[in-house]
Every structure is written in C-alpha cells, then in structure tokens.
Amino acid sequence: MLSIPLGLPEFKVIKQELLSYGYAIHVEKTETQERCPHCGFATSSVHDRRTRKVRDLAIFHQPVYLFVKVKRYRCWNCSQVFSASLESISPNQHYTNRFCEYLYELCEGSTIQEVSRKHRIPYTTLERIYYSIASKKAKERQTAIEASSQEGMVLSLDEIAVKKGHQYETVLMDARAGSVMGMHADRQCDSAINLLSQNVLSKERSKR
C-alpha cells in the first residue's frame, strides 16, 4: 500500500490500511513525556493506553480515520492520572480540528443540511461544530477590531472656555474619530491625568 503523509507533526504513523469504509491510519504521539495539568511536573510514567477513532481530512476522495493511541500518564509528584494532550484534536472530539475547519468552510458556502448529508455526519453534530467555530471566529474578529481601533487612536488634549471670562474645562478627544472622550471641570494637570486614566488606561487594564 502507498504510504500517505499525514501532515500532523505531533503524530508518528504506526500502520496504514485501506478498508471498505476508507483509510485507517494508526498513529501515536511522538512526545514521550507530558506535563501534569494538576501540579505542573513532567512525567514519562505511562499508566495505560487507550485508542480514539477520529475522522480526518479525506485522501484521494476517500474518508480517513485516525486510530490514535493515547497514553495516559501517572504523575510522579501528585499521583494523578491524566491523558496526553493533543494539539490537533480537541478533548472529547471525534474529528480533527482541521477537519472541523473544513466542514465549517463547506457550510459557509452551502447549508449544514447539505454538508451533513454529503459527508454522513449527524446534523446536530455538524451544527454544533459550525456554531462553535463561528463563535470563536466572531470573538477573534472583535478582538482584532478593538486592537486596530486602539492602535489607530490619536489622542488630543485641549481646553475650552465654557463661559465668558476664565471658566475653562479640559477636553480629551479622539482626534482621528473627531469625538469627545471626556471632559473635566478645570484645566489643571491633575485633570488631564484623570481623563487619561478613566478613558484610556482603565480600558487597557480591563482587557487584561
């Protein structure tokens, strides 16, 4: 049988088979040591192994299923048992992350029902995958917009006379947007510091 490159660097291929339902590729993670998620200590003590069947991107128009031999480790420090982490497969997921992205792109150009029928994936499963990725992408876009907006902001401090005579207020503006961000009832140095703290620095802290 022709050896097929998998394109997932975290795995080494143990065996490949062409079966009636598609390609079956048996893989194992190349790393032999894991860091305990409970206490942070690294361990290579294998408690046992379990196999996960996970669907991946098709090859030569044939469905591909990965049989992932997942090691479970016992931590030397805290004695907790935990499974090896996988970059390309999310916990409790029956599809690789890249296959989920592929399904999402198909749904963008078609319908969930049509993609579900064509790829023989339960409608509710595909619906969950689609909206999970859509939500993630929406958050990423919002973060990018906020970052771009913050980077593009040009601040302007000025003073204006609110009444004839000598009654002034300090004004903080976004000069690029032409909008007032805040005002303070005098033109002292402390007023400028307060305006910057309340309207710029506090927002930066809240993002962190």
What is the tens place of the pLDDT at every residue in 116-158?
Answer: 999 999 999 999 999 999 988 888 877 766 665 666 667 777 7
pTM here is 0.67
For residue 178, pLDDT over 90 is answered with no
Which pLDDT band, with edges at 50, 70 and 90, does 168 fall under? low
Dihedral sign (CA 39, 41, 47, 53):
positive
Give me the chain's average pLDDT, please: 83
Which pLDDT band, with edges at 50, 70 and 90, does 2 fall under? low
Count of Cβ atoms closer than 10 Å to residue 107 Cβ = 21
**What are the helix (H) ranges across the chain?**
97-109, 112-119, 123-151, 189-196, 202-207
Domain residue spans in the chain?
Answer: 9-90, 95-148, 155-206
| pLDDT for the residue 163 | 47
